Structure 1
Amino acid sequence: MNSKFLPRYLQSKLKIALSDTPVVCILGARQCGKTTLAQQFDSQRTYINFDDNAILTAAKQDPTGFIAGLPEKVILDEIQRIPELMPAIKASVDQQRTPGRFLLTGSANLLLLPRVQESLAGRMEVLNLQPLTEQEKHRSQHSFLARLLDRPLTAKIIGEQAGINGVAEAVCRGGYPEANSRNEVRSRQWHTQYLKAIIQRDVKDIANIRDENELLRVTQVLALRTGTLLNISSLSNELDISRATVDKYITVLERLFLVKRLPAWHKNQVKRLVKTPKIHWVDSGLASTLHSVKTSDWFDHKVNFGALLESFVVQQIIAQAGWLEEPPRFSHYRDKDQVEVDLVIEQGRKVWGIEVKKAASIQAKDGLGLYRLAAQYGDQFQGGILFYCGNNCLPLAEKNCFAVPISWLWELPTNY
C-alpha cells in the first residue's frame, strides 16, 4: 500500500480554515501524516522544521526577529518544540491579519499550555489529524458516521450469513502511514522503534520525566487495558508507582495523542451509572504490538482481541467525526449492573449508541446495553449499532437498532 498518497479527508476543513483564519494548527501524533498533509495542500509555502536544531536555536534566541524574517506564508512544523514563538506569532498577526499566514503542525497538544491559549485566542483554528482510517485507505467517499447521523438505518441482507475478512489485519496494522507501507513483521518493528523514539525525544518537550523506563512500563500496561475502565489506583498498585505519577504519565501520553480517555456518559437523574472513564489507544496497531497480539491470534480465545477491536472501532468513528462540520460528543455508558454501551454519540438532543462484538453472529443479549440506553433517553434515542463481524445488516429487537458489519466503517454499500 502506497500510504503516502492516500487522501486525507481533513483536507476540506483545512482549506476552509486557511481561507478565513490567520493561524491554523494541525495537531496529531508524530508520523500520522501532518507534514505530508500540509505540504501537499500548499507546496508553495516555505517549510520550516523545528526538529532542525539550528533552526530551533535561532528561533529561541530571537523569536520576534525570527517571525519577522519569514516569508508571507509558511509551514512551521513541530511547533510544540518552541512555545516561546507563540507571542511573536500573535504580535505579527495583530499587525497583519491575513488569512492563512501561518500553518502550524504539532505532535503535542498545544491547547493545554496556558500561554498558547492566551496568545492565540481568536486568531487560531485547531484541526486534529488522526492516524489513517480504513475509509481513507479504501478511498471511500461515504462515511458511516455521516450516514448514521443523517437518517435511520435499514436492514440489508446480502446473502447467507457469513464472517467477513480483513478485520484482524486492519486492527493490527493500525493507521500510521509508515507502518502501513510494510508487512506485518516489519510494521511491528516500526511500532516498537516509534514508541522508543517518542519516549526518548518528544516527552522532554512537554514534561519533566526522570525515569523513561517507568513511563514505558505504564505504557505497556495501558496497552493491555485498552477498552477498559481506567482504574489509576489499580495501575499504581500493580506497578508499584505512586498514583499521582501514574496519572501524570497517562496525561503525558494523552498530550502526545497516543491514548485517549473516553468520559462516562451521565444523566443527573440516573443514579446507578458508573462515572469512570475508559482508556483507549488512539492507534490499534501500536496497541497490538505492545499487547503482543498478531493477526494470527484472531481465533485464539485466550487472546483478548475484543478490547483491541473496540478501541479500533471507537477511533474510526472519532476520526470520521473530525471531518464533519459539527462533530458530535462521545462518551461510554456503564451502569452498576455492568450493562454497557461502548460508545455513546450525542449531537444536540439526539443520541445514538454503538456496541462492538468480535463474533460473526449475534444473540439477543448482545443488544442489552443499547436497549438500556434507549430506555434512558426515550424519544431522544435515534438508534443503536451493534458492530459485528458478520456480513448482513440485521434488525435487533429495539426500534432503529441494527447489527452492522464492521466493514461498513470503510465500505458502506452504494446507495444505502
Structure 2
Amino acid sequence: MYTRILARHLESTRRSALVLGPRQVGKSTLLSSTGPDLSLNLADPQTFRDYATHPERLQRELEAAAPTVTTVFLDEVQRVPALLDAVQVYLDARPGRFRFLLSGSSARKLRRGQANLLPGRVHVHHLHPLLAAELGQDFDLDRALAHGTLPGIYSEPDPLTRAADLRSYTDTYLREEVQAEALVRNIGGFARLLDLMAASSGRILNVQAMCRDAGLGYETTRRYIEVLEDTLVMFRVPAWSGLRGSSRASLVRHAKLFFFDLGVRNALLRRPLDMPLSDERGVLLEQLIACELHRRLGTIWPEAALFHYRTRHGAEVDFVLEVGREVWGIEVKASRRVSRRMLGGLSSLASRCDRVARRIIVFLGERPQRLDGAEVLPLEDFLRQLPT
C-alpha cells in the first residue's frame, strides 16, 4: 500500500474529518488504516438498509458505546446523509467524546439530501488518485500517462489487466452510477456528452458547442457537467483575472475542465491502453501537471490557487499559480529541447502583472536550464519542488 500524504495530516490532529473523493482513490483504505473503534460501511447493502430506515440507530449505539470506543468511521456517508445529524449532536453536546472520520464520493448527494455538512465542526479534505510523490520510485511517466494513478489500477503489474480494469471502471461507475445520480432521461445524450467531455479535457469549456455536439439543451448540458464536477470526476481550472482596470477585458474568461484521472479519460475515449499514446503525449503531460497541482490545493497547499491564462489575442500560459501574493506562470512542453519561442505566453503574463515571481517551463529534458530569466525544469525536478 502506498503511503498517502493526507495520512500525515489526519494523524497530526484529533479533529473530526470528512474525506471526499471519487470511487477507488483509497478513501476507505486510508481511513481504515487509522484504526477506528467503530466502522460502518454504508456501501454494504444490508448496512445501508438498516441505517437508511432507522438513522436514529447510530445515536443509540453511540450512547451505549464503551469508553474505549473513541473513533467512529462512517464510510460512504452520502448514502445516508441523516447520520450527520447524530454526528453533530455529539460534536456539540459532548465535544471530544468521539472523533468522527467520514468518507464520501458525492458532494451532490449530500447537498441534494439537504445534509448537515457540519460547518466549523469537521475538517473537509479531498483524496485524489496517487501523486508522483506518493508513488516515489514506482512513478513511471508512461504508465501514468496511459493508465492514470488510481491506486488499485496503477499497482496492478499486468498492463492488459490494468486496461481491462479501467474499462470496467468507466462502464460500471461512470456510465451507470454517475448516470443514475444525474437522473438521466436521455441516456444516449449523457453518454455522448461524457465522451465529448473526455475528448475536451484540458480545453476551454464551450457549453454551446457541447450542446450542439451532444444533441442536448443548454440547461441539460450544464446540469450534466455540474454532476460530473459534484461527483469529483472532473475539476475546473478558472481563467486568471488578476489584472486591473481595462486590461482585464482582454482576457478570456472561460474555465478549463479536466478529468480527475488520465487513465479514466483514456478509457472513455477507447484509446489502445496497451500501446504508447505518443500522438497525445503533449496533451497528456499537460493534464498530468494539472492533476498534480490540483491535488495539492486545500490541505497540502492551502495558500495556492490554480488558474489558466489566455488573452483574446492568443497569448496563453498553461497554468497560473497564485501562491500568497506571488504569481507563477507554468508552461508544459513534452519536448527534450526548449527554445525562446516557448516564452511568448510567459512574457505576456509577466508584462501585464508585476507579481510574477517565477516563469517556469516544465519539459522532458534531463537537466535544469535558464532561458532569458525563465526556469526550465525537468519534470522530476518540478514535481520535487511542489509541497508535500
Q: Do they fold alike, i.e. is TM over 0.5?
A: yes
Partner deviation per Cα, 1:50-87 (whole Å, 9 max, x = no partner): 11122112212222232331444211001111112222
Counterpart residue number, 2:11: 15
Corresponding residue to 1:392 among 367, 370, 374? 367
The answer on whether the counterparts of 1:354 and 1:384 sit within 8 Å (CA) in structure 2 is yes
Q: How many residues matched?
A: 375
| Cα distance between partner residues in 2 of 1:107 and 1:240 | 29
The two structures, once aligned, show a CA RMSD in angstroms of: 2.5
- Give the structure 2 partner of residue 255 of structure 1: 230
* Structure 1 segment 296-335 matched on structure 2, within 5 A: 296-299=275-278, 303-324=279-300, 326-335=302-311
Query: Does the aligned pair in 2 maintain the 1:167–1:407 contact within 8 Å?
Result: no
How far is the alpha carbon of 1:307 from its aligned partner? 1.9
- Aligned match of 1:376 in 331, 335, 352? 352
Per-residue CA deviations over 1:360-398 (Å, capped at 9, x if unaligned) read 1112111211111111221x211021111111211121x
- Do 1:354 and 1:385's aligned partners in 2 also have CA atoms closer than 8 Å? yes
Q: 2:23 aligns with which of 10, 20, 30?
A: 30
* CA deviation after TM superposition for structure 1 residue 33, in Å: 0.7
1:73 and 1:39 mapped to 2: Cα distance? 11
Q: Distance in 2 between matches of 1:234 and 1:125?
A: 38
Contact 1:110 1:116 in 2 (8 A): no
Matched residue SS, 2:306: strand
CA offsets per residue over residues 184-210 of structure 1, 9 Å max, x none? 222121111112222465437743222
Residues 100 and 354 (structure 1 numbering): CA distance in 2 closer, same or farther, change over 3 Å? farther
Which residue of 1 is the match for residue 378 of structure 2? 405
1:7–1:139 Cα contact (<8 Å) kept:
no
Whether contact under 8 Å (2:147, 2:273) holds in the other structure is: no
Q: Is residue 60 of structure 2 the alignment partner of residue 68 of structure 1?
A: yes
* Distance in 1, Cα, partners of 2:341 & 2:142: 24
Relative to structure 1, the CA distance from residue 377 to residue 200 in structure 2 (aligned partners, 3 Å threshold; closer, same or farther) is closer
Rounded to whole Å, the distance in 1 between the matches of 2:101 and 2:180 is 20
Q: Relative to structure 1, is the Cα distance of residues 257 and 409 closer, same or farther in structure 2, using a 3 angstrom cutoff?
A: farther
Cα offset, 1:326, TM superposition: 2.7
**Is 1:337 the equivalent of 2:330?**
no
Tell me, yes or no, if the aligned pair for 1:133 and 1:175 is still in contact at 8 Å. yes
Does 2:201 match 1:226? yes
TM, length-normalised to structure 2? 0.89
**Paired position in structure 2 for 1:96:** 94
- CA distance in structure 2 between the partners assigned to 1:370 and 1:342 by the alignment: 9
User: Which one-letter code corresponds to 1:277 in the other structure?
Assistant: A
In the alignment, structure 1 segments of 5+ residues that lack a partner are 141-164
Aligned-partner Cα distance in 2 for 1:99–1:82: 22
TM-score normalized by structure 1? 0.83
